[in-house]
């Protein structure tokens, strides 16, 4: 009887661990392209070259890269919420 409980506990633990990996998967796929497509989808009037440059700047990751990306997008009049979310999607993991 104890063996059945141990197998069930191990199965539940494995399911929870795999669920955590699946939940983190979208974050791990962040790329400059994800940033670019997000910004262009949400604000189609943005200059494509400016968005591309901003997302490339943000790809380095870190606070300074985020600020550079955000500043460049805001200078092109991309709304703040869209610029911030786009720059969050830019870093390569």
The pLDDT of 52-80, averaged and rounded, is 96
Distance of alpha carbon 55 from alpha carbon 1, whole angstroms: 57
pTM, full prediction: 0.66
Per-residue pLDDT for 62 more than 60? yes
**Helix-helix angle 32-42:48-58, to 10 degrees:** 140
> What is the per-residue pLDDT across 16-31, written as a single tens digit (0 to 9) for each?
555 544 444 444 446 8
């Amino acid at each position: 009887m104890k063996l059945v409980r141990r197998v069930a506990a191990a199965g539940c633990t494995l399911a929870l661990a795999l669920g955590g990996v699946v939940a983190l998967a979208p974050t791990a796929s962040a790329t400059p392209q994800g940033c670019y497509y997000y910004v262009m989808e949400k604000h189609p009037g943005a200059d494509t070259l400016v968005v591309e440059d901003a997302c490339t700047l943000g790809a380095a990751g870190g606070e300074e890269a985020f600020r550079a990306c955000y500043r460049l997008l805001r200078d092109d009049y991309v709304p703040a919420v869209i610029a911030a979310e786009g720059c969050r999607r830019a870093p390569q993991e």
